[in-house]
Every structure is written in C-alpha cells, then in structure tokens.
Amino acid sequence: MDEAYVEQVLRLVERIPAGRVLPYGRVAEVVAGGYGPRYVGRIMSLYGHAVCWWRVPRADGTLPAPLMMEAQQRWAQEGTPVRNGRVHVAEALWGEAGVS
C-alpha cells in the first residue's frame, strides 16, 4: 500500500466538516495519486477507524452494511442531510476551495 497516499487520504478525510461528505471517488480525484475509489475504500476499511469514516460514503450515499447503523446515528448527530436512510450526497457534498 502506498503509505504517502494513505496519509494524504486520511488528512483529507480529517478536514471534512461535520454534516458534510466526500464520496470515495471524489476523495480519489482530490488526492490525485492515480488511484480510484476502490483504493480509497480499501484505505478507509484498513485505516479509517482513526478518522471520521462516516463522512466518506459511496457515491449512492451508503456505507458497507455493518457500518450503516452507526453511520446513520452519526449523520443524525451532525445534521447531515439524509433521505431514505442514506446521505443525500448532492446536498451534503463538501465543496471547500480545491474540493468542489
């Protein structure tokens, strides 16, 4: 695993504000290391427990099934826009400068 890329991904995830999300594919685009969403998903599964993993959903606003219950609780606490049990990505997308 590319350790420098892992660190970049985790640093970016730590910057996502409460109530906002950045899907795996957008994380891959922003970090721009030649890796795609699946690699970001792998990083999150191995190292994401140390950061706000619930702010990095799939493009459809879900997370893996074992994480959904806790993620939904965290989204509710943070005021993340949710529709039908999943993040409303279009509304919750983090769009800070350089991350649009």
**Per-residue tens of pLDDT for the chain, all 100 residues:** 899 999 999 999 999 999 999 999 999 999 999 999 999 999 999 999 999 999 999 999 999 999 999 999 999 999 999 999 999 999 999 986 456 4
**Prediction pTM value:** 0.92
Positive or negative, the CA dihedral 7, 10, 14, 15 is positive
Residue-wise over 42-60: b if at least 16 C-beta within 10 A, else e? ebbeebbeebbbbbbbbee
**Residue 80 near residue 19, CB atoms below 8 Å:** yes
**Residue 20 near residue 82, CB atoms below 8 Å:** no
Q: What phi and psi values does residue 82 have, to the nearest 5 degrees?
A: -130, 140
